[in-house]
Amino acid sequence: MYTNLQKRKLGKSGLEVSALGLGCMGMSFGLGPAADKKEMISLIHKAVEKGINFFDTAEVYGPFTNEELVGEALEPFKGKVVIATKFGWKPNAEGKWFDLDSRPEHIKQVCEASLKRLRVDVIDLFYQHRVDLEVPIEDVAGAVKDLIKEGKVKYFGLSEAGVKTIRKAHAVQPVAALQSEYSLWWRQPEEELLPALEELGIGFVPFSPLGKGFLTGKIDENTKFDSTDFRNIVPRFSPEARKANQSMIDLLNNIAVKKNATPAQVALAWLLAQKPWIVPIPGTTKLHRLEENIGSVNIEFTGDELREIDNASAEIKVQGERYPEQLQKLVGR
């Protein structure tokens, strides 16, 4: 039983995907121990059944294990789904993935390795994961352009890039999509990014559209995260910040009651209402959350309701940075 989920076009690129994608990172990495592989394959199959055809991974997630999981899960649907993955890191001396490497020869090596792990003949959307200041963005775009000519990549994307970088890259090889964080509690993209993307005809793929889980309303100051959970080092997730930021959850709860929805659905529906070329990629490891997230596609806001949400959320000063300092340096470059 396959459901038809609404489709959206990512800008003017011609890349059309389901209105919601599925972020797969947390299945293997970053948010506590890796989930059971068989269960995650089953979850990805359910997502396809429910109309999701857009899946997000990266070589660095795991490393490698998330691409392998996504590749195995989606092999039966080859050619029917869109898989996005990312390049741009190399392991440093400690084996941790904090060194950037977007040299053209490295991009080509990563592409070959990702094709094998994903069990595909072509990567649908290949993002530069973070901007590497050591390599001119024109060279990065040129390398992906070569891969597109060779038939190994279909579309080029950037992640967390600044507007100047996006413009330079786009002039060499059209950028189909930009992936960056955007949600009701991280609205900075509205300042420069969204107008530039609209002008250039580039789609926007918000990750962490539920604020790394916070906007579901299920996290409070007493929540304990596993020792391997990335949120332990995120300033916005300190107990003090979580306590201070509950007012955002109160706002979502109020709207959710009126809309007969959940806070998570309101947060996702709000994002979908911003622009027709925005495709959020909430991640989950739970079937009921997947179903809940998909339900957001059916929630519509009137202009008055959107203004009310904007006005109310503008009054809330969100506490805490969204990244620890060393990672914050890598965004918006």
- C-beta neighbour count of 326 within 10 angstroms: 9
- CA separation (Å) from 206 to 29, 113, 190, 252? 19, 26, 12, 19
- Catalytic member of 61, 127, 155, 182: 61
Residue 21 contacts residue 296 (beta carbons within 8 Å) = no
Residue 15 contacts residue 203 (beta carbons within 8 Å) = yes
Q: How far apart are CA 238 and CA 173, in angstroms?
A: 41
Cis check for the bond before 63: say yes or no (omega within 30 of 0). Answer: yes
Torsion over CA of 48, 207, 312 and 291, rounded to 10 degrees?
Answer: 20
Q: How far apart are CA 216 and CA 239, in angstroms?
A: 17
Q: What is the CA radius of gyration of the chain?
A: 19
Torsion over CA of 66, 128, 160 and 14, rounded to 10 degrees?
Answer: -90
Picking from 73, 102, 72, 75, the residue whose alpha carbon sits closest to that of residue 86 is: 102
Torsion over CA of 313, 230, 235 and 101, rounded to 10 degrees?
Answer: -100
Q: How far apart are CA 332 and CA 193, in angstroms?
A: 10
155 given a catalytic annotation: no
Residue type at 179 in one-letter notation: Q
Catalytically active residues, by annotation: 61
